[in-house]
Amino acid sequence: MGKDVAALNDRSPPRIARGGWLDALRFIVGALIILYHFREASPVPLPQLHPVFDRGYLLTDFFIIDSGYVLARISGDRLAAGQASLRAYARQRLLRVVPAHLVVSLILVAIVGGAALAGITPSNPRWFDWSQLPAQVLLIQAYGVPGGQGWNAPTWTLSALIGCYLLLPWICRALWRWPPALVVIGAVTVVVAADLAASLWLGDPIYRLSMRFGILRALPLFLLGVAAAFYGARVYVAPRLAGAIGVGAAAALIIFQAVGAFSLLSLGLMTVIIWAAGAVPVLRPSRLVEHLALMSFSMFLTNEVSRIVWFGLLDALGQDALPSGARWALWSVGFVGAFVGAAVFRYAFDRPVQTWLNPSRTNRAAGDHAAVAAPRASGAVVSAEHAG
């Protein structure tokens, strides 16, 4: 009898855990988002080397899908069963995003304002229009509210994801009563229908809608991640098979992106990759991978500030007069510096603040893993408008 129970348990989908492929994917995509934001500042703009460097919107979409997947895997069952306090859940989601966002916004305002007082004009003044700032600081730019352009533009993803987070309890209650396969089919249908509607009525496909339609872009993709989480938590797939499916989806994604955009198909492949990463048990968790993944939210939130400061300084010093080799070296320093800046922000501010706000280890882990970019994003978030 004991052996039968053990065998049955072995056929249960594994719980997602830190230090595995999900964490590795989060960091890799976060690094690619930084590369995307730095693409035009290189001596030879990277899109001239290959058009894939202009498809950063897919990276933001990855973080939106991943956020839906991870948060639903962590909290979906409790939210669907009404076992979680909605007030506590909403508080945790908001506190995970808002403090870090406000501090980074304040830092950027101080830098731009200080430069203005010193008589230094930004390289692109139109991206620092003060009238655009309120909507961005309040994280309402993804709901059709005027403003939010420029500054730390990727935060539109956080704006949209907050709406998705707050809707998740009702999404779970609606979906958890259906068969997993039907939920996945329904989510895919919603994404395709939303893409057709967005292209017809808004002039852009769902995966590339502008920030003022951010919630319309994010919600179907977030739902896709939630559906993948529900399927992954209910349907057992042998780890080797799941791994093979994930590797196959990753190879297909690379091939498709090498020859064209195939954006809608790429969204599906990314979802399969996320599902596969969650279906493979983490037998030997890596602390390094865990820390890199936990840093991805700070990477998303701070990389645009790092880019603005570094290349604004180089432009002021006249970097255009330097030889190509020197400019590539300086570009590389700035690229690496974005990771350093994110690490400093993560360990000097974000982690201590989250530890203070969420003293429970469980809450802290859930909050970190489900945050975006950039993303989000985030956004990742990915400029987030531009990486998104």
Count structural domains, the chain: 1
pLDDT of residue 10: 60
pLDDT of residue 223: 98
pLDDT of residue 125: 84
Tell me if the pTM is above 0.75. Answer: yes
pLDDT of residue 140: 97
Side chain identity at residue 195, one-letter code: D
Tens digit of each residue's pLDDT, the chain (388 residues): 444 344 344 688 999 999 999 999 999 999 999 999 999 999 999 999 999 999 999 999 999 999 999 999 999 999 999 999 999 999 999 999 999 999 999 999 999 999 888 887 777 888 999 999 999 999 999 999 999 999 999 999 999 999 999 999 999 999 999 999 999 999 999 999 999 999 999 999 999 999 999 999 999 999 999 999 999 999 999 999 999 999 999 999 999 999 999 999 999 999 999 999 999 999 999 999 999 999 999 999 999 999 999 998 898 888 888 999 999 999 999 999 999 999 999 999 999 999 998 876 444 444 444 443 333 333 233 222 233 3
pLDDT of residue 43: 93
Enclosing domain of residue 346: 2-387
